[in-house]
Chains A and B, each alone.
Chain A
Amino acid sequence: MDSDDDFNMSSEEEDVLEDSDNDNGSVDDFGFDEPEPDLGYTQKEQVKKEKRTFDTNFKVYHPDDIQAQQDDLIDEVNMILDIRKEDAAILLRHFRWNKERLIEDYMDRPKKVLEDAGLGPSTTGPPKLEVIPGFMCDICCEDEPGLKSFAMKCGHRYCADCYGQYLNQKIKEEGEAARIQCPQDGCKRILDAKSLDLLVTSDLQNRYHELLTRTYVEDKEQMKWCPAPDCQNAIECGIKKKDLDKVVPTVACDCKHRFCFGCALPDHQPAPCELVKKWLKKCADDSETANWISANTKECPKCNSTIEKNGGCNHMTCRKCKHEFCWMCMGLWSEHGTSWYNCNRFEEKSGSEARDAQAKSRVSLERYLHYYNRYANHEQSAKLDKDIFTKTEKKMISLQTASGMSWIEVQYLNSASHALQTCRQTLKWTYAFAFYLARNNLTEMFEDNQKDLEMAVEALSEMFEKPVDELANAKLKVEIMDKTSYCNKRRVILLADTADNLANGVWKWSNNN
């Protein structure tokens, strides 16, 4: 069944090409008529295998595509329902661009649909600026003769200045576009683009359309803006919110930014969104503090409050529960008699029990710090990777002049730098992932994969840092190329393994965090 689907889903262009090849081949070489779809099929099967389990299907849209999509839908509704384009746009926005539902509802009860969308009963002809004798604007209370005024189809008339200022306030100050209503108290008539054009300057019109496009993308569940600064593209992806415990949908915008479609944070494979959120919160609460606490404090043996010793005396009284104990041996102070300032009772029972409890609570902190420090290390290195990238460019240029290699011949450094960045990004999140895993056979395999990738990355990183004259060495070049592809391979293995287990729901999470 699967294979049939695959065959049907492949691009038409390929089919045509391959079919004609097959036809020619079978007729000329073998002399019988039956076409051989198998040939094309096997090729496609291979293509399919290359698509890895942790890859997500998505599509990148540029600003022009996004505009065209809206225009197409508006044209369609305009034709099917025979209504003005600007009204079709308002209806579509009201229905969050669900064309089918709009048409269905409109066919059932057009009046109600129009009214709900803010296109209630209309009184006058096409809206235009007019001078009406005896008119007084209800907003500014001006009534001088010759005052230009405007009303949408609802008939609520205000002077052009006030209307314009109202729109300015809504668009510029409040960032509103799709839901701007008539200025009349209680009137729900929605402003259309044509009316807007009559009333405000072109830069405000542009802003209005920008805001509309923004709501178009935000209204669609399968679409998200690329979060990279200055990037205007949007991504379409079919992964739903409820799928996020089974997949980590990393997408890559045409601007090169890789991010998670689920939560819009930078790529965090293999860790699922929920875990990432938990981890980041924990780190924000804990990181520096945890280090300091680990070094400078102990917990009260009775109530577990964390206590910093800021004076010289070992006689501690817990502020919270008033428990008195000795800072040195953690034992009851009452057992210390008069041996002030100097504890030599390390072997006392109450002391050693308290120290055991202390150790237990420390273990969880230290476990966290183990993972956090490795996570932070890769994050730091990933930041340095930005420098590495620019350094690489310079290196590649100086390598060209030093060794006489061509631009193409030094591209391996670019690939290496790229591999380092993506692998470190992955490694970083493996540590957050591992922190939440319960220990079992799967975890061991995961840690082996993690270790392999980490060793490969560190080795590549070291080679990559070599001075230019050594990099020109042909042997090192081959080594770097090999290590680069090895790193990429190890990353794929690790991600495929974690993604499969995630999809099958077989990871066990530890519950004491």
Chain B
Amino acid sequence: MTQKRITKELQEVLATPPPGIKVNLVDESNVHNWNIIMDGPADSPYAGGKFQLLLVLPPEYPFKPPKINFKTRIYHPNVTFDEHGSMCIGILKSEAWKPSSRIPNVLTAIQQLLLEPVPDDALEQATAQKFKEDRKAYDKEAREMTKKYAK
């Protein structure tokens, strides 16, 4: 029964993707692994960058939340600056996730996170520190990293 839901969600996202987001399957025969390309939002130091993310739907989806990671390095307080690109985002916590939540909601939540980092909930303490204390330096660093990695 999850297959039907996933197929429907995929069709919807392919037909009308949220602005600034492209979706395709990593492997056409497996609807559980989605490849996401997210544009860095305008008005953010990530503008102009293209960020790749991997979205994995667990077998229990939609009763368990999807897993999503940045494949492109990103300088951001809430995303680990390493090969995992793990992030901490409210909607994906099991106590907040509802089976009726949809993947586009998750994707827009991530875009929102790029626009408005949450330094108090940081995974990268140093980055959060800079974001709070020296916004200009943070913006500059984020722009440079975007140029370096997210082309």
Contacts and interface: CB of A to CB of B under 8 A. Distances in A.
B100 A141 contact: no
Interface stretch (A162-170, A408-416, A483-491): A162-170
B7 to A, nearest CB: 8
B98 A161 contact: no
B100 to A, nearest CB: 5
A141 B4 contact: yes
B3 to A, nearest CB: 9
A487 B2 CA distance: 68
Contacts, number: 45
A185 B4 contact: no
Contact of A140 (B4, B95, B98, B102): B4
A338 to B, nearest CB: 52
A199 to B, nearest CB: 14
B94 A139 contact: no
Most chain B CB neighbours (cut-off 10 Å) among A156, A174, A182, A183: A183
B5 A140 contact: yes
Interface in A149-165: 156, 158, 161-162, 165
Could you say which interface size class chain A belongs to? 20 to 34
B99 A139 contact: yes
A142 interface: yes
A183 B100 contact: yes
A141 B100 CA distance: 10
B22 interface: no
Interface residues of B, number: 17
Residue in B5, B64, B99, B102 whose Cβ sees the most chain A Cβ within 10 Å: B99
Interface string B70-108: 000000000000000000000000110011111001000
A184 B96 CA distance: 11
B63 A185 contact: no
Contact of B99 (A166, A174, A179, A186): A166
Given A140-B2, A156-B100, A158-B100, 16 more contacts: A138-B100, A139-B99, A140-B1, A141-B5, A142-B4, A165-B63, A169-B64, A174-B94, A179-B95, A182-B98, A183-B100, A184-B98, A184-B100, A185-B100, A185-B102, A187-B98
Interface of A: 138-142, 156, 158, 161-162, 165-166, 169, 173-174, 176, 179, 181-187
Interface of B: 1-2, 4-5, 8, 60, 62-64, 94-95, 98-102, 105
